[in-house]
């Protein structure tokens, strides 16, 4: 377990200073998820104590939400594959599929940080429509919310895992 959080580790190479906090959040998400879920059984991965979302859901939802919000930040609409992935976020996670799901999380976070390196900071205030209704946001709003929403799920995952491990 790393004792220094990402926000205390300094700049992230190539990421514009204004976007470093977004990179820090994403990198912390990846690291925290890895630490939290270590040793979960298949039953625990899919458990929903008190009706809350399962650890499996959080593991799939985090890269999904980052993918969707970064898509909107680029000014693109979601592709059919993204909708299919969204519908599958709550599916049962078999023990043999955990490593692949963790790999998807890792790959998506790496891609998001790489994408932050390419963002033209002059566009951060540009309009971006979100969802089918094209609700108003900005490039910065989409990037920040993608990271913030992912971290929100780390918090929920943390509580769920602690309850499950205490049982």
Q: What is the pTM of this model?
A: 0.94
Q: Please state, for a pLDDT cut of 90, what percent of the chain lies above it.
A: 98
Structural domains in the chain (count): 1
Predicted confidence band of residue 110 (pLDDT cuts 50, 70, 90)? very high
Closest CA to 56 of 103, 105, 90, 102: 90
71 in any annotated domain: yes
Q: So what's the pLDDT on residue 54?
A: 98
The residues near 76 (Cβ < 8 Å, ≥ 6 apart) are none
Which two structure tokens, joined as six digits, stand for 1? 């377990």
In terms of residues, how long is the chain?
167
59 in any annotated domain: yes
Q: So what's the pLDDT on residue 130?
A: 97
Question: Is the confidence at residue 141, as pLDDT, over 70?
Answer: yes
Q: So what's the pLDDT on residue 12?
A: 97
| Each residue's pLDDT tens digit, 115-134 | 999 999 999 999 999 999 99
Q: So what's the pLDDT on residue 1?
A: 57
Report, as an integer, the average pLDDT of 141-164.
98
- With contact defined as beta carbons under 8 Å apart, do 119 and 143 qualify? yes
17 in any annotated domain: no
Domain with 52, as residue range(s), is 38-166
80 in any annotated domain: yes
89 in any annotated domain: yes
CATH of the domain at 98: 1.20.120.450
- With contact defined as beta carbons under 8 Å apart, do 17 and 11 qualify? yes
Distance of CA 96 to the CA centre of its chain: 22
43 in any annotated domain: yes
6 in any annotated domain: no
| Each residue's pLDDT tens digit, 31-68 | 999 999 999 999 999 999 999 999 999 999 999 999 99
117 in any annotated domain: yes
DSSP state of 18: G
DSSP state of 127: E
For strands 127-130 and 135-138, give the pairing: antiparallel
């Amino acid at each position: 377990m790393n004792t220094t959080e990402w926000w205390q580790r300094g700049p992230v190479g190539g990421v514009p200073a204004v976007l470093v906090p977004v990179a820090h959040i994403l990198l912390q998400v990846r690291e925290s998820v890895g630490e939290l879920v270590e040793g979960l059984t298949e039953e625990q991965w899919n458990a929903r104590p008190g009706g809350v979302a399962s650890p499996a859901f959080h593991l799939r939802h985090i890269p999904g939400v980052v993918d969707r919000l970064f898509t909107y930040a680029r000014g693109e609409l979601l592709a059919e594959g993204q909708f299919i992935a969204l519908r599958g976020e709550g599916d049962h996670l078999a023990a043999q599929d955990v490593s692949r799901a963790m790999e998807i999380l890792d790959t998506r976070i790496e891609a998001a940080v790489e994408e932050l390196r390419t963002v033209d900071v002059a566009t951060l205030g540009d309009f971006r429509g979100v969802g089918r209704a094209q609700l108003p946001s900005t490039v910065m709003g989409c990037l920040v919310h993608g990271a913030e929403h992912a971290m929100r799920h780390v918090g929920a995952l943390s509580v769920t895992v602690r309850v499950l491990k205490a049982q």
